Amino acid sequence: MMAIKRLEKGPIPETEGTGSKCKEINRYAHTLVRWFKNHRDFVVQGAWYPDAVFKDMGTSHGLKHTLFLAGEKPRYLKLPDTMEVRRLMMSESKIYKEKTPFIVDEKTNLNDRCEALCHTVVDNFKIQYREEKGNSIAPSSTHMAMRMFILSHYIADGHMPLHCDARSLGVIHAAIEAQWENQVKKCYRIDKDNERFFYDPDGYPLANEKMSDLMKTVEENIITRPFVYAWGSGISSAREYMEAVTQYSFLLAQEMVPTDVGNVNWTDYQETEAVKDFDKYSAMILTDAIDSIARAWLHVWIRYREWGPDKSRKDTGDIYAK
């Protein structure tokens, strides 16, 4: 929901790129927001499907990295400069500075999952566009909106540092996620019966009177932080993008839960030196995750729109082409 808010209220540039690669970012962002608002009710539950229905946590919810003291130096992919976790790790991570080798567990495939979902959503949009209205084989827009929320789950997981670290850290992993979840529950009004948020007049999660400092920071960041459409220098797909995201998430995992802290519960974690930066790291993680979801959604939307409905916008009768 915050990714939709970022696309509507954030500083989205009019265009990005030059020549044949120039994209009308602002117009597409706002037509995507309009489409989402027409099809969002009750599809937010799609964000829970990867856990509650697919249950592919052991393979597709992370890209697990392990430090490996021998081997080739790692090749770090370049995310947009606005990505805060990347900037922080480039300046503070000893692993990054020393180019310590790492290996990736081949059984984990979050980046492949994200790439596949992006293709699937675009393909389903194309089928809907080609088939006559009411055709029983044509996917509904509500179905596509739900799949967008499914995609958001995997993207967000890639930003959770402990989804990218192969160490056995299940206790502190669950404790950190519980802290974030509790903040959302305390700061926003939730329609529990229908498994969605109550909305404010602008159509976004309705905030309570008292917001935590962390949630205030995230809300401010998504409105003020510059928006970059491109995946990053040399990155051309969601797959490569999420590979890059998980690299820096892994580095942050080593900072958030140093080896000498280990797999502790939340009470014991609060007694460690590592906890002092928890809110700072959390704000970066959540803002980066929201930014990435918005970026991926917009790439999917533009790929489809430029393929079909916006190829020739005149007299299409399509409200999203205007």
* Full set of structural domains in the chain with CATH: 2-309 (1.10.575)
Range with the poorest average pLDDT among 37-41, 120-124, 315-319: 315-319
251's enclosing H/E stretch is helix 238-256
pLDDT at 40: 76
Cα dist. 252→143, 164, 199, 287, 294 in Å? Answer: 35, 9, 33, 15, 22
User: Among residues of the chain, what percentage have pLDDT more than 90?
Assistant: 88
Cα dist. 265→178, 272, 278, 283 in Å? Answer: 11, 11, 14, 21
Query: Confidence class of residue 321 from pLDDT cuts 50, 70 and 90?
Result: low
Query: Confidence class of residue 194 from pLDDT cuts 50, 70 and 90?
Result: confident
Is residue 102 helix, strand or coil? strand
pLDDT at 313: 58
The pLDDT of 73-96, averaged and rounded, is 97
- Is the pLDDT confidence value at 170 over 70? yes
User: Among residues of the chain, what percentage have pLDDT more than 70?
Assistant: 97
In terms of phi and psi (left: phi > 0; alpha: psi -120 to 50; beta: otherwise), the region of 32 is alpha
- Is the pLDDT confidence value at 319 over 70? no
Closest of 164, 182, 154 to residue 266, by C-alpha: 182
pLDDT at 11: 97
- Is the pLDDT confidence value at 322 over 70? no
**What's the rounded Cα separation, in Å, for the pair 244 and 214?**
25
Token pair recorded at residue 64: 């697990």
- Is the pLDDT confidence value at 32 over 60? yes
Neighbours of 110 (CB within 10 A): 25
pLDDT at 43: 83
Closest of 11, 84, 7 to residue 282, by C-alpha: 84
Averaged pLDDT score across all residues of the chain: 94
- Is the pLDDT confidence value at 150 over 90? yes
Could you tell me which residues come within 8 angstroms of residue 94 by beta carbon, excluding any fewer than 6 positions away? 100
pLDDT at 317: 52
Residues 169, 66: contact at Cβ < 8 Å?
Answer: no
Tens digits of residue pLDDT in 245-290: 999 999 999 999 999 999 999 999 999 999 999 999 999 999 999 9
